[in-house]
């Protein structure tokens, strides 16, 4: 009976974690697909994956940037803004009352001026090389290998020999 109680407590913990993950995924899906938002707003923050090397050294391709959703940006801040249907992450090099001018650190020329309304927010954190891992975990072979490994480890270490 004691083993059953321990097993139930472990299952209960994992179910709570899975439910939390499911709620977050459904919330994000609803924002993108049902509400037709351009990006996810999760408690005032969003994330983007960087595709190009225009901000190289500071931000490299396949990095993930965590963006605080705000229009309050200053010169030297790295921001993400919407340009047509693209999201661009560049540094603010000039600011006045009407417009902002941005430039990628690795670019030779500045971008077309934007307004405060184009700004999604300010980059507050950079997670390096996450895009590579996302691509790895998207492959079916890796997902199947992980599931089989979890089941095998649970089976091998989950049962205790009887005396």
Span 92-127, pLDDT tens digits:
999 988 899 999 999 999 999 999 999 999 999 999
Could you tell me if 89 and 115 lie in one domain?
yes
As a whole-number percent, the residues of the chain with pLDDT over 70 amount to: 88
Could you tell me if 49 and 121 lie in one domain?
yes
73 vs 95: CA distance, rounded Å: 9
Helical packing angle, 140-158 and 130-138, nearest 10° = 80
Q: What is the DSSP string of 38-89?
A: SS--BTTEEEEE--SSTTTTTS-TT-EEEEEE-S---TT-EEEEEETTEEEE
Query: pLDDT tens across 4-45, in order?
Result: 566 556 666 777 888 888 898 898 888 888 988 888 888 899
Whichever domain contains 62, its CATH number is: 2.10.109.10
SS3 12: helix
Those residues with Cβ within 8 angstroms of residue 80's Cβ, 6 or more apart along the chain or in another chain: 48, 65, 67, 87, 88, 89, 119, 120, 121, 123
pLDDT value at 161 more than 70? no
Domain for residue 53, yes or no?
Answer: yes
Could you tell me if 32 and 99 lie in one domain?
no
Which residue's entry shows tokens 């690795």? Answer: 106
φ/ψ of 144, rounded to 5, equals: -65, -45
Could you tell me if 63 and 118 lie in one domain?
yes
pLDDT at 156: 77
Could you tell me if 11 and 49 lie in one domain?
no
Which residue's entry shows tokens 């899975």? Answer: 18
Question: For the chain, what is the domain count?
Answer: 2
Range of the domain at 20: 1-37
pLDDT band at 132 (very low <50, low <70, confident <90, very high): confident
Could you tell me if 125 and 50 lie in one domain?
yes
pLDDT at 155: 75
Q: What is the mean pLDDT of residues 56-83?
A: 92
């Amino acid at each position: 009976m004691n083993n059953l109680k321990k097993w139930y407590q472990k299952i209960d913990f994992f179910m709570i974690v899975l439910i939390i993950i499911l709620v977050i995924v459904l919330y994000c899906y609803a924002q993108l697909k049902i509400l037709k938002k351009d990006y996810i707003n999760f408690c005032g923050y969003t994330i983007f994956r960087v595709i190009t090397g225009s901000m190289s050294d500071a931000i490299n391709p396949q990095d993930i940037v965590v963006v605080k959703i705000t229009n309050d940006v200053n010169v030297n801040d790295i921001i993400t803004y919407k340009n047509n249907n693209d999201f661009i992450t560049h540094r603010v090099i000039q600011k006045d009352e009407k417009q902002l001018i941005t430039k990628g650190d690795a670019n030779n020329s500045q971008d077309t001026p934007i307004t405060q309304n184009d700004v999604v927010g300010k980059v507050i954190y950079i997670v390096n090389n996450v895009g590579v891992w996302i691509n790895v975990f998207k492959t079916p072979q890796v997902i199947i290998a992980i599931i089989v490994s979890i089941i095998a480890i649970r089976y091998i270490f989950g049962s205790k020999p009887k005396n």
